[in-house]
């Protein structure tokens, strides 16, 4: 077999005319058997990531960050944060220690009070702790949590609204949330006896504001 010099088609060795293109194969200067170009294609080299691939990678990273941020905000809101505005979601909760462990006496008809301030950015305060009467069941106390304005109304005999008011008892556990900014008051009242003082222990009393 040989190849046509005009079209490189494969023909018989004895052929005088190319059966593919009709070329005259008898001319001596055109005889030959050119081989087709069999050079190997270049091996593919390592290709850098395309712009679209890099863009997709960045988009995926941003999406993960957005999801993490959204979950963090949902958690903070579930904890009571955010009532002071969006910036409050990113503020560290403020803990006010009211009485870590304190024993005190409350005279008949008198009050023992503590105060703290709920800021506009973190107006929501969760108040926890415990009060125990130390000198017997015959001298119960009342525990109140209220704003400073309502406390003023309370001690002056006017109508007052309290976040928390316990019945007369010898053991009181606090689990109350205040919701407005401003000065707050925690008060223990000896109202059960007109002539007997009461000794009380406060344990782990604190307000966490956010």
Q: 123 with 204, same domain?
A: yes
Q: Are strands 94-106 and 198-209 parallel, antiparallel or unpaired?
A: antiparallel
Residue 51 has a pLDDT of 76
Q: What is the 3-state secondary structure (H, E, C) of 83-124?
A: CCCHHHHHCCCEEEEEEEEEEEEECCCCEEEEEEEECCCCCC
Looking at the domain assignment, is residue 75 inside a domain? no
Q: 27 with 101, same domain?
A: no
Looking at the domain assignment, is residue 23 inside a domain? yes
Looking at the domain assignment, is residue 72 inside a domain? no
CATH number for the domain that contains residue 161: 2.60.120.680
Looking at the domain assignment, is residue 57 inside a domain? no
Closest to 160 in 3D by CA, of 178, 143, 147: 147
Residue 102 has a pLDDT of 97
Percent of the chain with pLDDT over 70: 80
Closest to 191 in 3D by CA, of 105, 107, 102: 107
Residue 193 has a pLDDT of 66
Q: pTM value?
A: 0.62
Give residue 128's domain range: 92-209
Q: 101 with 32, same domain?
A: no
Instruction: Please count the structural domains in the chain.
Output: 2
Question: Sign (positive/negative) of CA torsion 12, 16, 17, 23?
Answer: positive
Looking at the domain assignment, is residue 65 inside a domain? no
Per residue in 165-192, pLDDT tens?
999 999 999 999 999 999 999 999 998 7
């Amino acid at each position: 077999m040989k190849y046509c010099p005009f079209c490189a088609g494969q023909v018989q060795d004895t052929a005088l005319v190319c059966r593919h293109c009709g070329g005259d194969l008898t001319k001596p200067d055109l005889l030959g058997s050119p081989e087709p170009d069999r050079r190997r294609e270049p091996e593919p080299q390592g290709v850098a990531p395309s712009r679209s691939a890099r863009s997709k990678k960045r988009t995926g990273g941003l999406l993960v960050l957005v999801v993490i941020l959204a979950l963090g905000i949902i958690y903070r809101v579930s904890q009571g944060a955010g009532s002071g505005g969006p910036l409050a979601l990113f503020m560290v909760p403020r803990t006010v220690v009211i009485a870590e462990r304190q024993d005190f006496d409350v005279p008949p008809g008198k009050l023992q009070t503590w105060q703290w301030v709920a800021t506009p950015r973190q107006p929501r305060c969760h108040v926890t702790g415990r009060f125990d009467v130390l000198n017997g069941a015959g001298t119960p106390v009342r525990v109140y949590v209220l704003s400073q304005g309502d406390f003023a109304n309370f001690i002056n005999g006017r109508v007052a609204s309290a976040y928390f008011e316990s019945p007369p008892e010898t053991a009181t556990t606090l689990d109350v949330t205040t919701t407005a900014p401003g000065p707050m008051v925690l008060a223990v009242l000896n109202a059960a006896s007109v002539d007997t003082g009461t000794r009380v222990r406060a344990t782990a009393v604190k307000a966490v504001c956010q």
